[in-house]
Structure 1
């Protein structure tokens, strides 16, 4: 993503439009330590980041530039801190958020136009996740939706689909911003089925030269269930 962003102007000069966010935003999103500061700019809290010598247990560790939940792990006690974890400079340690009992996990597909203005946001509750991607999900028009439409109505440097992850309390309005991926996410087919025609809007905006109006005309509580199919080839 960063290489594409840095080459965007060169492609633009040849009449080729790469729908990619600015390099500055991608840098902030790629490093989850910086993403926390980005959320703070928009008055959205994030799980506290701990210094290695001042950990609070239980805590959560993950690579600051990781993806698909690879290397992510709950640390219950100091005994769980292996050498591989403590000596890996990319591992960061954060406040543990209980998404099994207290919080629900949400991914929000957000469409931003050329000027970084929010045109649509569709929260998806992650009911079941495998290897970092949702296998069961449901669209939810909830307090998180209202908060993002208000606080993230403009995201400087954003273009196209932005996929953001949040933890939302099951009992009150407490919300934590976790990470932002400046690209389409694996669960986007649910957003598309619910009425978020982001590919069509990209065509209208970048090929048709049209302005995209704000849309909240999407289906609430639409559930997507994925499954594996076996294929035999002889």
Structure 2
């Protein structure tokens, strides 16, 4: 059986690579975690992995063939995608990986399509009776309002417009901008929820973590919270057809009235997942047991409440680098 694991677009995901190394070696001591990246020589996660490879961009026509070639060379049994831009192309080619007995941990095309286009995501939320920020007519706006692109990520091109004077032609004519109601942070706190969906597309774990501080779109300071969000998600999305592995929900939560407003779904490991892992939500172990050992993954809430994460910059030093 092939038990090596490959993590794509490794970048700075040092903690994620180390988590998979730790859990994999508990069960398969001789197995390894391989990484790929566009610039692996400048990727700290690649340098802490057991081996790494350079690969073209996900939108290159050779991406899938290059990835499969690396998988065969390294005897890979599982692939973990980590960025939005590769999810669609990998989902479309999942059959090629299945044919080579490689577990590609990616949700199906339809679910990914909903997540990548925030216009369709609002329809998804509506179908599941989940509240989301209501659209605002840009030609007859009410203020304050919030603007973001329908296919954006990493908090790029987002704007809070508090009065008409701040609204420009750039905002009004941009073809990808969505105008929506502004959620006041004085009353609502922002959370990311790390969810695990098993092979049967059932919710098996949900860890809300409050985004106390964010840097470059990724959580910098955060804390786990066992609160109403968990029961809400268990009621609303106990099953999502096509969803597998780690799925992150972003939402706003008003603890005074338990109101929840959902804003995004990312069908992959989020940058802040290491907090959930350290709290005990062991998704690498779940993946290994479910896909390598064919174990059933039932619902668990056996993770630590009120665990605070304070991130800082650290260094990976590479000697004799050219």
Q: TM-score, normalised by structure 2?
A: 0.70
Q: Deviations over 1:170-192 (max 9, x none)?
A: 42111101100000000000000
1:128 and 2:213 matched: yes
Which string of whole-angstrom CA distances, capped at 9 and with x for unpartnered residues, describes residues 157-209 of structure 1? 10100001010114211110110000000000000001111011111111111
Shift of 1:82: 2.0
CA shift at 1:35, angstroms?
A: 1.0
- The residue number in structure 2 matching 1:223 is 308
1:10 Cα deviation after fit: 2.1
SS for the counterpart of 1:3 is helix
Instruction: Give the length in aligned residue pairs.
Output: 233
Residue segments in structure 1 that go unaligned for 5+ positions in a row: none
**Is the contact between residue 36 and residue 177 of structure 1 (CA under 8 Å) also seen in structure 2?**
no
Matched, 1:86 2:183: no
| Deviation (angstroms), 1:233 | 9.7
Given candidates 35, 56, 64, the residue that maps to 2:150 is 64
Bigger helix fraction:
2
Higher normalized contact order (CA 8 Å, seq sep 6+, divided by chain length): 1
Aligned residue for 2:275, secondary structure, equals helix
Q: Which consecutive segments of 4 or more residues in structure 1 shift more than 4 A?
A: 229-234
Correspondence 1:21 to 2:107 = yes
RMSD between aligned alpha carbons? 1.6
Question: Which residue is equivalent to 1:51?
Answer: 137
SS where residue 49 of structure 1 aligns? coil
Is 1:119 aligned to 2:236, yes or no?
no
* Aligned partner of residue 212 in structure 1, secondary structure: coil
* Distance in structure 2 (CA, Å) of the matches to 1:183 and 1:81: 34
Residue 30 (str. 1) matches residue 116 (str. 2): yes
Q: What residue in structure 1 maps to residue 296 of structure 2?
A: 211
Deviations 1:42-72 (A, max 9, x none): 2210000123323221100011111111111
Structure-1 residue corresponding to 2:240: 155
Which residues of structure 2 form unaligned runs of 5+?
A: 1-86
Selected match of 1:108 from 193, 217, 222: 193
